[in-house]
Chains A and B, each alone.
Chain A
Amino acid sequence: MDSLIACKGLRHAYGRKQVLHGLTFSVESGGIFGLLGKNGAGKSTAINILMGFLRPSGGTCRVLGEESHALSPEVRSRIGLLQEGFVQYDFMRVAELERYYAPFYPRWNREVFYDLIGRMQMPDTRRLSAMSNGQRSQVVLGLIMAQMPELMILDDYSMGLDVGYRRLFVDFLREYVTLHGTTVLLTSHVVQELDRVIDRMVVLKEGRVCACMGKREFMDSFRCCSFRRTPASLSMKSDDTVRSIEHTAKTTFVHGFFSEQEIAAYLERHQVPASGLVSVPMSFEDAFVGLTGKY
């Protein structure tokens, strides 16, 4: 498969503060790719580099074969970009927006746009500034879809949307991707909803990639086990096997890419009593928090 996005050793710093420490990941053609991470993980910086608004301090980031900070107009026309907060020319009316963008995209499909607008039963004479956040999100999604892009980059598509509009947005996106085979890279703060959206993902933690795989593979291989809390368990440190450790009053929880047998052997090796060791079932959100930690 061709890589639509290929980041290699991507580094970035604001002044002396290093925020990305050599990210390496790629996004292949087809499907929905999630770029996940907690606040401050470097997600926004990575997205800004991918969108061409930042030049990385080091490493390379290529989007559709070109350096992301110097994308040609031709390549930009193949990328549908949703800015965080559904930034758009809100002084324009719906029809004006459609007319404005159409000449810039060779594969512009106004039927796709008006199909989505039509579903909202909203007049195309309405100004974007007069719309609710939800309505605006649909218009912006419609504009991106009408571009018929090869790659969509959706930066925090869920920001400011209630659950209904988030669902609507995801449903339209899924439908569109299935129909047109567009590749999507997205970020969102609402991780639990990504479970039904993304196919593959890269998870950032403190400016580093801590997981890059298919979502199903992640959910199959990432485990949470609990056992009785002891002084030895309290002194455990996270490492390559145990990605995070949490303690409640009586129980210790460990997360990592291991099986129940592997973690039992690990605890024995580290002389941590594993009485009551059981596997704990997790949702996608639980697994994400287990991987990245609560703090």
Chain B
Amino acid sequence: MTKQQLRSLISKEWIKLRSGIWLLPLLLLYAAADSLLALHSLQRAYGSFGLWETIVFRQPQFFGSYFLVVVCAVLIGFLQAWPESQGKRLRLLYHTPIEPVSGIAVMLATGTILLLLVNIAATALFLGTMQWFHFPREIIHPAFLTVLPWILLSIAAYYSSVAFFSSGSPGVRLLIGAALYPIWNMLGARGAYGLYEHSIWIYGVAAFLFVFVACYAILHYMRHAALGSAFVFSRMITIILAICGLGSVLLALYWKIAMPADPHSSMHFSPVYRQFVLGDFPASQGSAPDGEPRYRLENGTTLSREQYRAALPFLYVRDLVKWEMFPESIGGVAISALEAERAWQFVRLSSFNWNCPSPMLHMLLESNPEGARLQKPGDFFRISDGGYGIGFITPHDGNNDRRKSRAFTEALGKAGFIYPVQAVGGNPDVRKRYDAGYFLADARGSLFQMRMVDGKPSCRRLDGAIDGAVRHIHVKEHHREEYYGFVVTDSSLYAVMQKEGVLKNMPVGRFSADDVALALWSDILFTSVSMEPAERYNAGRSGIAMTPDLRILHRFMQPTDAAYLESVRVLKTFAAFLFPVQIVQELPGSSFRYLQVRFAEPVPAALSGSVFALVLSALISRLGLRRRRVSDYALVAVFGLTALLVLLLSETDAFLSFTRRN
């Protein structure tokens, strides 16, 4: 292709685009104005600090209008593809004395460049809006990571709209829909900031693969003539995208329909029986009410509702008082109902709490307020200098408070803190009774408490060392003042003992920070933990009872309901048969979104599904309904029945013309 020809093709694209291109800046300006005004109204109502606090802790979708980049993409696709393909105009492209793929490439490249310019402009407007309110990088980055999926979606939407408007074929349009719908759902979803942090590039690759969908739809027009490898390759990619898309939708639908109700159960250590008492709460079946709860001891002894509650006098103190059943002593310790009511603490820890985006900023409260209530400070702090400092930043101008930052950084250092900061955790809630400040793990695994007392830093090192990388520091002040909180590492859980000021490794057995849901109960007599992986049907729930100083007293393993396990196993087997290759974007125990393609388990069921689909495909082919290519059989062999379904969908045109003829 000569330069003049290239210029000519580009001029054609400009001629097509000029009729509607003026809408793009208007849409972007609207998006920018809308998000600016949303932030402005928050600032006017709550002030600069309130605005930052809302953004940091509530993560509102003030930038929702930036979804318009997707509309821009569809508009660009429409402007380019519609005039090019109306009537039989695609024939003009194919008769033009250049390789058709070159003409298509110029069209798509022009649109892609324009779309990228739109997205760059949108990004600039977004960043400008954030800068206007002095937001620091720690807020801008995760917020932008939430807009970025929409930008990627706009790319997929652009290529899909070119494909949709270029093709009059129902079969091709069905494929486009099957491919785009799931990625639209994945990338268009709204949620907490920065959930795509670790896998955005995978979504980016998936979005750019849609360029082959556009190529395929345009080349499909000439499917009855000689088509080269470009058509074959783009068809293959389009069909794979449609298979992945349809597969993920159908798999999600399958589990929604087939998943048996999760049998709810409870497990608490009874100070009366000195063993765990269990409650089973059958789930409702359809419109029927929930079944009667069943209570029992570890050994299977059935308990009545009253007996069950009497076994847990701290938890059901009010019920027992009302029924006049509250004992004079519990476990040999005389205690009043009023004391019992305030003598326990309950904490839930889940891997979702730490396998998620880090807090954007931290808010260090004044631990010694003038009045009785805690008050919000006028600033936030962050881990600065690559982990080698504490930086306080003021929302009204976005500037660092150098004096305060230096004071806290130095105070930590003087307390023995070895930079860089490994992890930080706190509970910046003014409704609590007192403030324990923040806890920071240093480079050597020591834990430090950092508080602000009378505006000055107060730092101290806690006894004990943390073994392994710190995943999370959970702080929760409580009136019992037993624990400051907990430190989670890859395979351990540490309790931060408040009175002793020490770290204690909790003997919770096999602990995996990647996938755990843990409930901790602590009262004046015992501490108990019940723990299970997020995917409950894989394993049961383990219970450990300890003395208040964390010595193990008793262990118990509650297996998951066998009938439930069996039904899940059967459903998983059937799912593997139907969907040998599965596309999911959730990991157990993680809030992050990961796009993953995996071969289903159990493998024999998945292989059987592939073989069955191959046989069915061959039968359909033999019946004369369709002659298949070797590549089609390969797809069916890998993706099973979903591939066959997509291939049949792609043949809708042939089916429609067959029905018209007959």
Contact = CB atoms under 8 A, between A and B. Distances in A.
Nearest to B18: A91
A83 B7 CA distance: 25
A54 interface: yes
Given A15-B657, A52-B225, A83-B91, A99 B99 contact: no
A185 to B, nearest CB: 15
Nearest to B6: A103
Contacts of A69: 225-226
Contact of A53 (B5, B16, B83, B91): B91
Contacts of A73: 97-99
B15 A103 contact: no
A17 interface: yes
B87 interface: yes
A43 B141 CA distance: 64
B11 interface: yes
Contact of A100 (B8, B88, B97): B8
A218 B531 CA distance: 96
B229 interface: no
Contact of A103 (B8, B88, B226): B8
Contact of A96 (B7, B11, B83): B11
Contacts of A99: 8, 11
Classify the secondary structure of B's interface with A: helix
Contact of B87 (A17, A51, A52, A85): A85
A55 to B, nearest CB: 5
A20 to B, nearest CB: 14
B256 interface: no
A197 B96 CA distance: 27
Contact of B95 (A14, A51, A54): A51
A74 interface: yes
A104 interface: yes
Contacts of B5: 103-104
B658 interface: yes
A165 B87 CA distance: 22
Contacts of A70: 225-226
Given A91-B16, A99-B11, A76 B225 contact: no
A88 B83 CA distance: 10
A103 B7 contact: yes
A105 B15 CA distance: 21
Interface residues of B, number: 30
A85 B94 CA distance: 17
A112 interface: no
A95 to B, nearest CB: 11
B287 interface: no
Contacts of B98: 73, 104
B372 interface: no
Please indicate which of the listed interface residues A67, A73, A89, A103 has the most CB atoms of chain B within 10 Å of its own CB.
Answer: A103
B225 A53 contact: yes
A55 B97 CA distance: 19
A81 B99 CA distance: 17
Contact of A89 (B4, B7, B12, B661): B12
A15 B224 contact: no
B258 interface: no
B658 A15 contact: yes
B521 to A, nearest CB: 72
5 contacts: A53-B91, A70-B225, A76-B96, A85-B88, A96-B11
Interface of B: 2, 4-5, 7-8, 11-12, 15-16, 19, 83, 87-89, 91-92, 94-99, 222, 224-226, 654, 657-658, 661
Given A53-B91, A99-B11, 14 more contacts: A15-B658, A52-B225, A53-B222, A53-B224, A53-B225, A70-B226, A73-B97, A76-B95, A76-B96, A87-B87, A89-B89, A91-B16, A91-B83, A92-B12
Give 10 nearest A-B pairs by CB, closest first: A77-B97, A103-B4, A70-B226, A73-B97, A76-B97, A69-B226, A69-B225, A91-B83, A103-B5, A103-B8
